[in-house]
Structure 1
Amino acid sequence: MLWMAGVVVLAVAVSAVTWVVRRPDERPVTSSAPAAVSPAPVDDTEARMLAQVDALLKARAAAVVAGQLPAFLGQLDPRNAKLRARHQLQYANLRKIGLRSLTYRREAGWVPEPQAQHGAKAYAFRIMMLVQVNGIDTSARYVPAGFTFAERNGRWLLVDDDDLAAEADRGKTREPWDLGPLEVVRGPGVLVIVPPSERANGRRLLREARIATPAVRAATRRAQAGILIVALGDGRSFDAEWQTGGHPAAAVAVQNYAPINPEATQFKVTGSRIVIHPSERSDADRFLLAHEFTHAAMSPLGHGAPTWLVEGFAEYVEMELTAAEGHTEWLADYRRSIRREGLPKLKVLPIDGVFHGDYDEQSYGVSWLIVEHLVTKYGLPRVNAFYADLAKSPDDPAARDRALAKHFKTTDAALAAAVKN
């Protein structure tokens, strides 16, 4: 039950949903744009090496998309059996997932790092992997990688893939295709990735997703063209820092970033993929998915909306589905507990930095009642317009006050009092 930024640390550029790449990582920041990187002079020897590395990356991507395993393996060091086994499995997983496009690019702003353990002419590169899943992604998603290339008998080959693995800016989680054998269950607009022995659970999650999707569309008036659900047992698929209320989240909506210029120096959010905690993958249901799908639908609008609105709106969609599914008694009990234990503490709208501080586990419920109040009094279209306005605004209390006045003719304190009453 958590919205998380994706795999790039970013600096805000011209608009709220366009960013300039700063460093590959796990969090967005709102600092100023970084200074431009001036490439160092390149001599003829290095130029030939870079040209061969670029050609290898292009051939590697083409081999995956076309299903040409011999050509794919031909780019790997024949002496590194473990590397070849890892990449053969990665190839098989990517083929199972099904790609519309795949591109590997050297990150031009980074100087290749010598890796003497692989020979005198071996260099590690930061690689931009751009992956577009067929039927799911409207554009290619950025994935950071690190490859080491070395010259073998006059030819440059990929000789290792973990010489940059310890660097913090590559993130803590790993992509599904790097985590061992997997199974894929596909339906219209949904692709579920599960362990090989859990295809039945993949089919169950697909059914749950198809029930959740209409509720999300009805509330948000938005939806992703397709959505990827990762439900693996490997703990490396889920960042330990993805927490809510001091414990691991049941699932997260992790943003997808896509480049918007040929140099891939500016990115935009195109949606999210849903990653379910390994311990929750058999229990995740339509209600949890509705919550996360709401985050996925709204995330391209920007990241300026306050946490109470982001989480409260997702809770609202989840609770509307709960009511539609006939769980009225449970919903009434939940509402009473929030009114009894959470609302008495409400004086101002929940603050981002201490979202759980005042209400503990009931912060989501309190936020739900705030959003439900707005929807009931003003209607969904105005709440959606309020959300969109704040999402593209700076993270600024004054901007939020202006939005409350503009859309609802109210203030923070007045809204809190109205919800309590």
Structure 2
Amino acid sequence: MSTGRARTRGARGFVATLLPLALAGALLAACGDDDPPSSPGDPTGLAVQEIEHTLRQRARAILDGDSVLFHRTVAGRGTFLDDQDRYFDNLGQLPLGMLRFDLDPTSLDKDGDGYWADVTVRLRLQGYDVSPVITHDHWRFAPTRNQRRYLLASTTDKRWEADHPSQPQPWDLDEEIEVRDAPGVLGIFDDGSVGSASTVLDAVAEGRFQVRSVLPADLTDPGGVVVYALSDPEFVESLSSLPVNDPDRLDGATVPVPHDAEGGDGRVSSYRVLLTPHVLDQTGDVLDRLVRHELTHVAVGSRARGVPLWLSEGIAEYVSVQPIAPAERRLQTDALDLAARGVEDLPSDADFSGADAEGWYAVSWWVCEYIAATYGASALWALLDALHDGGDQADVVPEQLGISTAQLVAEGIALMRRTYA
């Protein structure tokens, strides 16, 4: 599930929102250009050898930036070749520590003179992903005229994709990306947003140090941060786990990239920060605070798994404002109005996707401010750990703080009112 900051009713004032492995030498050594040996008595076995050969060439061509070799792995021309060239160019800008395409030989399905087959893609961004990101796809391979090679002919099978939902990354989609970097930051932009690259990269690079200075010492630096800042809405619209239902209400999000979503082991290879187009036009202070909010989610990572949103979002807000002088910490627009209507208990996760989401972010922030001011900042991290993996807050809060959840939210709101009255 992605976490982040939502924007309500089109507000454009301050709205604080929504990880090296070298490619094995054996893999490169196996990527020779010679055609594989033929075995006329076993056509399926021959197809497997030839398809595997094509996939090894494809990986090596991308890693080496060899467009001629890459084209030798692709059948057809026109739109499909254009799409493949765009994919080649997109990946060529990334710091690839690993790229591998593996065929499932048992999946070959005859289709005319070609085959459909399942392919596993392993891709790791050097310095940014703690493990390769594994995705699964279904591709068609067509024979050459001499029947000695099978080349990639299609990467789209709508029926298969409907049964195997996945989360594409920006470089997988039908758009050209523009990659820029700074120390510890990899920025993914497009033609419409690359003009903001230096501003975004500076904000993230500085934000990493500011966030690290607030977090407890046992939260280790996750390494480099990947930031998506695209003007084209296609990637945002492809996300299936946004904190709000309407992407237009989203300012930013922290998107976990699973090691293998289909494998379902729960491991995460990377947490990537998403900034939506309209925040690129915001003032520097607003962008900086939003970036710190999302970087807190990145740093906390799986430690917040199963924790109620009021605590994970409240902590992110609390950390994001620490570099700001107290008198300059702006409150989200509807927070006091929400408080005035009466708040009986801590918000549910569902409240963060509703009409009062903006106010609930502020209430959660000030609950965390109250905890830190009353019990010390270490109490926030102790509470986070106690609620990890679905701890019952009705039991955990009194055990940790000595007050009920209703009393806790009342104290947080009272502190907020006194501060902003």
TM-score greater than 0.5 by the shorter chain: yes
User: If each structure's strand is expressed as a fraction of its own residues, which one has the higher value?
Assistant: 1
1:252 maps to: 253
Taking the aligned partners of 2:340 and 2:311, their CA distance within structure 1 comes to: 16
Are 1:219 and 1:380, in contact at CA under 8 Å, matched by a contact in 2? Answer: no
Are 1:355 and 1:363, in contact at CA under 8 Å, matched by a contact in 2? Answer: yes
The correspondence for 2:316, drawn from 314, 317, 333, is 314
Query: Once the 2 structures are TM-superposed, how far is the Cα of residue 195 of structure 1 from its aligned partner?
Result: 1.9
Q: What aligned pairs does 1:19-418 form with structure 2 within 5 A after superposition?
A: 45-77=43-75, 79-106=76-103, 111-112=107-108, 116=111, 119-125=112-118, 127-152=119-144, 153-164=147-158, 167=162, 169-171=164-166, 174-196=169-191, 198-221=193-216, 222=219, 223-239=221-237, 242=242, 244=244, 247-258=248-259, 266-283=265-282, 285-301=287-303, 303-321=305-323, 323-324=324-325, 328-329=327-328, 331=330, 334=331, 338-339=335-336, 341-342=338-339, 345-357=342-354, 359-391=356-388, 393-394=389-390, 399-418=392-411
Query: Once the 2 structures are TM-superposed, how far is the Cα of residue 287 of structure 1 from its aligned partner?
Result: 1.3
Taking the aligned partners of 2:396 and 2:42, their CA distance within structure 1 comes to: 57
Q: Secondary structure at the match of 1:347?
A: coil
* Amino acid in structure 2 at the alignment position of 1:218: S
Paired residues in the alignment total 366
Q: Secondary structure at the match of 1:205?
A: helix
Are 2:335 and 2:358, in contact at CA under 8 Å, matched by a contact in 1? Answer: no
Q: Secondary structure at the match of 2:259?
A: strand
Are 1:194 and 1:202, in contact at CA under 8 Å, matched by a contact in 2? Answer: yes
Moved more, 355-364 or 217-226: 355-364
* Amino acid in structure 2 at the alignment position of 1:238: V
Query: Once the 2 structures are TM-superposed, how far is the Cα of residue 214 of structure 1 from its aligned partner?
Result: 2.0
Change (3 A) 1:330 1:295: closer
Taking the aligned partners of 2:273 and 2:235, their CA distance within structure 1 comes to: 11
Taking the aligned partners of 2:123 and 2:129, their CA distance within structure 1 comes to: 9
Change (3 A) 1:384 1:55: farther
Taking the aligned partners of 2:116 and 2:198, their CA distance within structure 1 comes to: 43
Taking the aligned partners of 1:345 and 1:303, their CA distance within structure 2 comes to: 29
Taking the aligned partners of 2:265 and 2:52, their CA distance within structure 1 comes to: 21
Q: Secondary structure at the match of 2:237?
A: coil
Could you list the per-position Cα deviations for residues 147-206 of structure 1 after superposition, in whole angstroms to 9, with x for gaps in the alignment? Answer: 222333232211011124852643475523534333221111101111246543111111
Query: Once the 2 structures are TM-superposed, how far is the Cα of residue 67 of structure 1 from its aligned partner?
Result: 2.5
**Which has more radius of gyration?**
2
Are 2:120 and 2:137, in contact at CA under 8 Å, matched by a contact in 1? Answer: yes
- Runs of 5+ consecutive residues of structure 2 not aligned to the other structure: 5-40, 415-421
Q: Secondary structure at the match of 2:54?
A: helix
- Runs of 5+ consecutive residues of structure 1 not aligned to the other structure: 5-42
Q: Secondary structure at the match of 2:297?
A: helix
Taking the aligned partners of 2:380 and 2:84, their CA distance within structure 1 comes to: 47
Change (3 A) 1:187 1:317: same
Taking the aligned partners of 1:107 and 1:282, their CA distance within structure 2 comes to: 46
Taking the aligned partners of 1:245 and 1:84, their CA distance within structure 2 comes to: 35
Normalising by structure 2, report the TM-score: 0.76
Q: RCO (CA 8 Å, sep 6+): is it higher in 1 or 2?
A: 2
Q: Secondary structure at the match of 1:167?
A: helix
Taking the aligned partners of 1:107 and 1:410, their CA distance within structure 2 comes to: 56
Taking the aligned partners of 1:146 and 1:135, their CA distance within structure 2 comes to: 29
Change (3 A) 1:271 1:401: farther
Are 1:147 and 1:158, in contact at CA under 8 Å, matched by a contact in 2? Answer: yes
Change (3 A) 1:269 1:390: farther
Query: Once the 2 structures are TM-superposed, how far is the Cα of residue 319 of structure 1 from its aligned partner?
Result: 2.4
Could you list the per-position Cα deviations for residues 288-318 of structure 1 after superposition, in whole angstroms to 9, with x for gaps in the alignment? Answer: 1111111222222252011111211112122
Taking the aligned partners of 2:178 and 2:370, their CA distance within structure 1 comes to: 43
* Amino acid in structure 2 at the alignment position of 1:50: V
Q: Secondary structure at the match of 1:272?
A: strand
Are 2:254 and 2:272, in contact at CA under 8 Å, matched by a contact in 1? Answer: yes
* Amino acid in structure 2 at the alignment position of 1:3: T
Query: Once the 2 structures are TM-superposed, how far is the Cα of residue 271 of structure 1 from its aligned partner?
Result: 3.3
Taking the aligned partners of 1:112 and 1:411, their CA distance within structure 2 comes to: 59
